[in-house]
Amino acid sequence: MKRADFSPLPDTKINLKDYDPDFHEDWNKQTAKDETDRLQERIQDLQERLYAEGKQALLIVVQAMDTGGKDGLIKKVFSGVNPQGVTVTSFKAPTPEELARDFLWRIHRHAPAKGFIGIFNRSHYEDVLVVRVNKLVPTEVWKSRYDHINAFERLLVESGTRILKFYLHISKAEQKERLLARLDNPNKHWKFSLGDLPVRERWDDYMKAYEDALTRCNTEYAPWHIVPANRKWYRDLFVTQVILKTLEAMNPRFPPAEAGLDQVVIPD
Ligand code: AMP
Ligand code: MG
């Protein structure tokens, strides 16, 4: 597989077994980190412009299995951007108040405002992943959600938001390593939840659910990227490259200066 295959075209049937979580082109840890740092400076400049312009928004959806690297990625890729222009929302199991509404109700209110980058750490996709695997709603309910998701994302895009979706793809063996590392490190115990173990047992069911979500909701206006994520440094570089390319295409511009600024004299 080549780099481009990890950003599949709409209507591609996704089989995750075809996607190597160790893929890293010709990069090594040092060259990838240096390149990521270099590209991040350009993201910082473009984010400043996006915020100043106040006309377009960028929504970044991050999904992964436990230990897939969602938190680490968000921390790395957005280190250095102006926090005033970025919102991060982590979606947990819905509250009773949220469960009493449609599944997109709690999501929509966190969509980024114009000028902002909004990051979703988990998202509306949980409603066709954990909800499906754990049979939290009847089959016909989760099955109808792919169309609802596509329509919802189209609404956001037509209202001035760009959408990028990243699935951080790790292997089951890599997850085991990372869970063991969490157990070994007292500073990481807070990240270890016994509830993650039954999820790991259902790995294959989750892969199937991910494949359907990635296949059915990979649209031209809200594309999925399958990020090889066994190597954290390649994961960070891959996502940084995609975000930078998107921000460049959005081409945000500083608003024009007020007329007469060249005449201004600042009084003593
Ligand atoms: P974490 O990301 O480790 O803080 O865990 C958040 C938990 O919330 C995960 O176990 C998710 O599966 C769960 N979660 C998120 N969204 C939903 C949802 N819509 N329905 C059920 N569980 C969810
Ligand atoms: Mg967790």
- 137 — phi, psi (to 5°)? -140, 160
Using most ligand atoms within 8 A of CB, pick from 130, 149, 210 the residue to mutate for ligand 1: 130
pLDDT for res 80: 85
Give nearest CA residue, ligand 1 atom 18.
93
Which residue, 244, 234, 254, is CA-closest to 81? 244
Residue 92, ligand 1, Cβ within 6 A: yes
Residue 63, ligand 1, Cβ within 6 A: no
CA dist 32 and 220 (Å) reads: 28
Q: Model pTM?
A: 0.97
pLDDT for res 134: 97
pLDDT for res 32: 98
Residue 209, ligand 1, Cβ within 6 A: no
Alpha helices by DSSP H, 67-158: 70-77, 96-99, 105-108, 130-133, 139-143, 145-158
* Structural element, H or E, at residue 64: strand 57-64
Residue 130, ligand 1, Cβ within 6 A: yes
CA atoms within 13 A on the CB side of 102: 9
Q: What are the pLDDT tens digits along the chain (268 aa)?
A: 999 999 999 999 999 999 999 999 999 999 999 999 999 999 999 999 999 999 999 999 999 999 999 999 999 999 889 999 999 999 999 999 999 999 999 999 999 999 999 999 999 999 999 999 999 999 999 999 999 999 999 999 999 999 999 999 999 999 999 999 999 999 999 999 999 999 999 999 999 999 999 999 999 999 999 999 999 999 999 999 999 999 999 999 999 999 999 899 999 9
Residue 122, ligand 1, Cβ within 6 A: yes
Using most ligand atoms within 8 A of CB, pick from 91, 201, 205 the residue to mutate for ligand 1: 91
Q: Where are the domains of the chain?
A: 3-251
Which residue, 227, 221, 243, 215, is CA-closest to 5? 227
pLDDT in tens, 152-209: 999 999 999 999 999 999 999 999 999 999 999 999 999 999 999 999 999 999 999 9
Q: CATH fold of 3-251, please?
A: Rossmann fold (3.40.50)
pLDDT for res 60: 98
pLDDT for res 119: 98
pLDDT for res 137: 98
Q: Ligand 2 centre from 93 Cα, in Å?
A: 11
The residue written with tokens 């980190």 in the block is 33
- Partners of residue 163 on adjacent β-strands: 59
